[in-house]
Structure 1
């Protein structure tokens, strides 16, 4: 039976590193912002599109019976809801992993933004 792993945590907590270590299909909204040359170009105005893209990629992989790991911040529980609904629809096992490392954010997320996210964090 396929499985869906949701990896959540603040920027710099080790989400992407952990997700890559699982050796299954890895999807995250940040991938939407990587151009054809491999350069990350974040655009806050396209964040909603990035998350819709991530959900679409996940849905397609689950539909094809693949194991998927999604690593996004998932600061608030509602952010995981579309993925949990997909898991129910496709009848796949779900595992939620919380990363709590304190590393440098690979995308240079400002400390003020991380502080706001930490304040909104839902266990």
Structure 2
């Protein structure tokens, strides 16, 4: 049985670090913004496309029978629904992990943005 692991948490909570320890294909919406030279070039107006890309890649990997770990903020429960649906579709075991660490925010997310996310957080 394949496994789909979702890792959720605020920016700088350790999601990517935890994901790297799991033996699975690692995906994040932020990967959409990495160019061919390995540079991270975030464009806020493309965030919806980034999440669609992440969902498509997750489905592609699950269809191939691969375990997948997705590390995104997933601040609200509805943001995980498409992944829950994919787990059902591909009969994958679904694991949801929450990161609450406070590390350096590698993507430069503004502290005001993080605080707004914290206020919207749904357990």
- TM-score between the two structures when normalised by the length of structure 1: 0.99
CA deviation vs aligned residue, 1:58-100 (integer Å, no higher than 9, x gap): 0000001100000000000000000000000111100000000
Runs of 4+ in 1 over 4 A off after TM superposition: none
| 1:121 paired residue number | 121
| 2:36 paired residue number | 36
| 2:57 paired residue number | 57
- 1:23 shift after superposition: 2.5
Indicate the RMSD between aligned Cα atoms, in angstroms.
0.4
SS in 1 for 2:54: helix
- 1:24 shift after superposition: 1.2
CA distance in 1, matches of 2:7, 2:72: 6
- 1:4 shift after superposition: 0.2
CA distance in 2, matches of 1:113, 1:47: 15
SS in 2 for 1:106: coil
